[in-house]
């Protein structure tokens, strides 16, 4: 994500960058906390609070759609490789 | 002492141990036959609402992605000892090999499409009211109630058909460049499409060009491209309990608990 911000620094406003950062984090959350390899059974310990991490961060970040509506601006920059 | 797992890789070799994982702990590869799982020791708890840990997890997985084919673990996968890791690798070996072969040299892109769903629904509703000459406020009679229900059903159906048409157009831009895809329609009225595409690395520029073509095609739709990502959305395990420990299920449980109806 740091690379992304560096890449866009010259051509984006601060607000654009903040928005971009949040969109990127949302995309990461949707993957790292919802997808990927899930191991079943007693041999794995799942952090009990992981669901709260997901819920908490989602609430803090709102959703992509809501951000888009509230800010009223198109995804300027968000379509340019956020990783 | 617990062991935190980041991802399974197609190598049983040592990895660069100067690279750090959660809480600054060094990473190491635990080999099993011809593959391995990259882990680090974890002494402390992962804090609630701590995005740093999630970002570190992702950073490590993306770093692995640069050098290996990687199957990212879901955030928070912990083991209590190396013997448990070995047991898990033995149990899942065939699954891991199958996925590593299928996902080799492939990356994931995300495409989200937002449309003015509320306006489209309003337009469809207005057209129905006009053509059917229905009153804006339903009377209390049973017949009117049923008419209203049927009318809403037709509006929903037309709304979904319109969504299907738009999704087919959007998806059509990418079809020729993708190996697999996961499409989610209308997660909300305005989030028309949330798509994950699995793309050969060598076709990633073509995929991005296709996105640019889509974006410049005009219209009311807005698009978000993200990636390249590790192939989080395309891992299929025969013995997975996917969802049992996942965020959304617990969220549902919490919501149901608060709202028992």
CATH topology of domain B107-234: Alpha-Beta Plaits (3.30.70)
The pLDDT tens digits for B15-26 are 976 779 988 899
pLDDT greater than 80 at residue B101: yes
Element (H, E) at A60: helix A50-61
Percent of chain A residues past pLDDT 90, beyond the cut: 0
Band of residue A55 on the pLDDT scale cut at 50, 70, 90: low
| B69/B58 Cα distance (integer angstroms) | 15
| B190/B159 Cα distance (integer angstroms) | 11
- Residues of B in Cβ contact (< 8 Å) with A2: none
Does B8 touch chain A if contact means CB atoms closer than 8 Å? yes
Strand B106-114: give its sheet, edge to edge.
B178-185, B191-200, B106-114, B222-229
Does B193 touch chain A if contact means CB atoms closer than 8 Å? no
Q: At B75, give phi and psi (nearest 5°).
A: -50, 135
Both tokens of A29, joined, read 């959350």
Which of B51, B191, B233 minimises the CB distance to A57?
A: B51
Q: Helix (H, G, I), strand (E, B), or coil: what is residue A2?
A: helix
A contact test, residue of B117, B118, B246 with most A CBs within 10 A: B246
Which of B2, B190, B215 minimises the CB distance to A45?
A: B2
The conformation of residue A37, written as its DSSP 8-state character, comes to: B
For residue A41, give how far its alpha carbon lies from the nearest alpha carbon of chain B (Å). 9
Return the pLDDT at B151.
85
**Range in A3-7, B23-27, B182-186, B205-209 with the lowest mean pLDDT:** A3-7
The conformation of residue A47, written as its DSSP 8-state character, comes to: P
The pLDDT tens digits for B115-165 are 898 899 999 988 887 776 555 555 567 777 777 788 888 899 999 999 999
Please name the residue of chain B whose CA is at the shortest distance from the CA of residue A43. Answer: B84
The pLDDT tens digits for B32-59 are 999 999 999 988 766 555 678 888 999 9
A contact test, residue of B44, B64, B74 with most A CBs within 10 A: B74
A51 and B246 within 8 Å at the Cβ level: the answer is: yes
Q: Where are the domains of chain B?
A: 2-104, 107-234
The pLDDT tens digits for B212-258 are 999 998 788 889 899 899 999 999 988 654 434 333 443 333 333 33
Return the pLDDT at B28.
92
- Residues of A in Cβ contact (< 8 Å) with B230: 31
Contact B30, B86 (CB under 8 A): yes
- SS3 per-residue string spanning chain B: CEEEEEEEECCCCCCCCCCECHHHCECEEEEECCEEEEEEEECCCCCCCCHHHHHHHHHHHHHHHHHCCEEEECCCEEECCHHHHHHHHHHHHHHHHHHHHHHCCEEEEEEEEECCHHHHHHHHHHHHHHHHCCCCCCCCCHHHHHHHHHHHHHHHHHHHHHHHHHHHHHHHCCHHHEEEEEEEECCCCCEEEEEEEEEEHHHHHHHHHHHHHHHCCCCCCEEEEEEEECCHHHCCCCCCCCCCCCHHHHHHHHHHHHCCC
Whole-complex ipTM:
0.75
């Amino acid at each position: 994500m740091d690379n992304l911000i560096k890449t866009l620094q010259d051509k984006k406003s601060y607000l654009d960058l903040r928005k971009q950062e949040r969109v990127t984090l949302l995309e990461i959350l949707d993957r790292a906390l919802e997808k990927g390899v899930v191991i079943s059974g007693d041999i794995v310990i799942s952090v009990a609070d992981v669901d709260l991490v997901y819920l908490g961060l989602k609430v803090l970040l709102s959703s992509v759609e809501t951000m888009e509506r509230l800010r009223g601006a198109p995804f300027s920059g968000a379509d340019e490789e956020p990783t | 002492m617990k062991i935190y797992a980041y991802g399974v890789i197609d190598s049983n070799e040592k990895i660069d141990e100067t690279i750090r994982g959660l809480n600054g702990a060094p990473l190491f590869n635990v080999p099993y036959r011809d593959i391995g799982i990259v882990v680090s020791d974890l002494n402390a708890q992962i804090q609630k609402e701590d995005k740093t840990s999630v970002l570190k997890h992702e950073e490590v997985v993306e770093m692995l992605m640069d050098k290996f084919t990687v199957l990212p673990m879901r955030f928070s996968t912990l083991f209590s000892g190396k013997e448990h890791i070995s047991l898990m690798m033995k149990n899942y070996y065939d699954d891991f090999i199958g996925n590593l072969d299928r996902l080799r040299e492939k990356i994931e892109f995300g495409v989200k499409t937002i449309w003015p769903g509320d306006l489209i629904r309003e337009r469809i509703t207005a057209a129905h009211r006009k053509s059917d000459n229905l009153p804006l406020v339903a009377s209390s009679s049973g017949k009117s109630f049923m008419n209203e229900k049927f009318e809403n059903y037709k509006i929903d159906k037309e709304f979904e058909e319109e969504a299907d048409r738009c999704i087919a157009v959007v998806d059509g831009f990418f079809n020729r460049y993708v190996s697999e895809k996961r499409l989610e329609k209308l997660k909300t009225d305005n989030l028309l499409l949330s798509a994950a595409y699995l793309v050969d690395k060598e076709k990633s520029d073509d995929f991005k060009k296709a996105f640019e073509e889509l974006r410049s095609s005009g219209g009311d739709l807005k698009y978000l491209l993200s990636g390249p990502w590790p192939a989080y959305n395309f891992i299929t395990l025969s013995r997975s309990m996917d969802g049992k420990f996942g965020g959304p299920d617990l969220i549902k449980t919490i919501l149901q608990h608060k709202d028992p109806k």
